[in-house]
Amino acid sequence: MEKNVEYSDQVHVYTTNYIRNSKAIGVLWGVFTICFAIISIVVFVQPQWIGGTQDSKGIGHFGLWKWCTGSDEMSNELTCSGSLDDFSTIMNTASRAATILVGLSVVVTLLCICCMLLFFFFSSSVVFHITGCMQLLAALLLVVGVVVFPAGWSADKVREVCGPTARQYNVGECEIRWAYILAIIGVLDAAVLSSLAFVLATRHVKLHPEPEPIYGGSVYKGQMNPGFVGDAASLAGSRKSLNLQPVMLMPHPDHDRYSEYSHHTGRSKSSAAYRAHYASSVQNFQL
């Protein structure tokens, strides 16, 4: 029984520590979700996905829906084009598809941040499930946008900067810029955050009150039936319960049986004295 009590105490401590740690992890999850939203917005806005190098045919850089090119290499003056208000200004169909996919990823991420307000109205398990699904969707949209974007490198505007060798999934004389790398990091970030949200949702444990140990006898409940109790039972009862009540022990009567043809012997007297002394010692120990 002592092992059961110790096990219950260990589970109680483990549950308390786990809930405290899970709350801290949940706060970090919320902070990194906001960071991922910022990354998504920067990736969507910046036209630094690919750009020219010193060996490229022209100067300029390209993003999802906006690109900047220039003809004067000495002044490095660039003219930017592309607008979200008019999709016809975007270079080609692949660039438009990538713009829509990444834009939807940004919208879903922002909605995920708004869903954090649901923690005040619903259980955290439900909210983590919802936000985890939304982050998974955002990661899928972003990864598809990252994969589709190189299909637009065959556009004429890209060839003017990156040379005639530029084609689908071949950047030619240009190079990958920081915004494209940041988008790939954002995919990994969204996947990790989604997995963490599902873990927090499925392993969220509520702190229950400590269950009262159930013992298998009246000895451990602080009560004893009157009667003769051995030393082993008294010792076990004193160890198991701190509220053990004094019990008056009644030793079994030891009557010397007389026969019509017998008398008391020395052996029977000594045996009766031993029993009386043993019962008295047990009574003193139990009190």
Q: What is the pLDDT of residues 48-90, one digit of tens each?
A: 999 988 888 888 999 999 999 886 655 567 888 889 988 889 9
- Domain count along the chain: 2
pLDDT one-digit tens code per residue, 3-55: 455 545 565 566 666 666 778 888 999 999 999 999 999 999 999 999 988 88
Q: Does some domain include residue 93?
A: yes
Kindly state whether residues 72 and 169 are assigned to the same domain.
yes
Kindly state whether residues 196 and 71 are assigned to the same domain.
yes
pLDDT of residue 140: 97
Kindly state whether residues 28 and 69 are assigned to the same domain.
yes
Q: Does some domain include residue 51?
A: yes
Distance, in Å, from the CA atom of 193 to the CA atom of 135, rounded to the nearest integer, reads 7
Selected residue with higher pLDDT from 57 and 111: 111
Q: Does some domain include residue 246?
A: yes
pLDDT of residue 72: 60
Q: Does some domain include residue 211?
A: no
Amino acid at 89: T
Domain boundary pick from 146, 172, 202: 202
Domain boundary pick from 140, 169, 202: 202
Kindly state whether residues 146 and 68 are assigned to the same domain.
yes
Distance, in Å, from the CA atom of 57 to the CA atom of 35, rounded to the nearest integer, reads 37
Kindly state whether residues 122 and 240 are assigned to the same domain.
no
**241: pLDDT strictly greater than 70:** no
pLDDT one-digit tens code per residue, 204-231: 544 444 444 444 444 444 444 444 444 4
Edge to edge, the sheet with strand 59-62 lists: 79-81, 67-70, 59-62, 50-51, 175-176
Selected residue with higher pLDDT from 279 and 182: 182
Q: Does some domain include residue 218?
A: no
> Which residues have a Cβ under 8 Å from the Cβ of 233 and sit 6 or more positions away?
219
Distance, in Å, from the CA atom of 27 to the CA atom of 167, rounded to the nearest integer, reads 45
Kindly state whether residues 178 and 42 are assigned to the same domain.
yes
Distance, in Å, from the CA atom of 130 to the CA atom of 124, rounded to the nearest integer, reads 10
**Count of CA atoms in the C-beta half-sphere (13 A) of 279:** 15
User: In this structure, are residues 244 and 222 in contact, taking their beta carbons and an 8 Å threshold?
Assistant: yes
> Is residue 159 classed as helix, strand or coil in its secondary structure?
helix
The CATH number of residue 172's host domain is 1.20.140.150
Kindly state whether residues 197 and 260 are assigned to the same domain.
no
User: 285: part of which helix (H) or strand (E)?
Assistant: helix 266-286
Instruction: Give the residue from 140, 145, 136 showing the smallest Cα distance to 180.
Output: 145
**139: pLDDT strictly greater than 90:** yes
Which residues on adjacent β-strands are paired with residue 80?
A: 68
Instruction: Give the residue from 167, 142, 164 showing the smallest Cα distance to 152.
Output: 167
User: In this structure, are residues 234 and 285 in contact, taking their beta carbons and an 8 Å threshold?
Assistant: yes
pLDDT of residue 17: 66
With a pLDDT cut of 70, the percent of the chain lying above it is 62
Kindly state whether residues 130 and 33 are assigned to the same domain.
yes
**Parent domain of 193:** 2-202
Kindly state whether residues 78 and 162 are assigned to the same domain.
yes
Q: Does some domain include residue 20?
A: yes
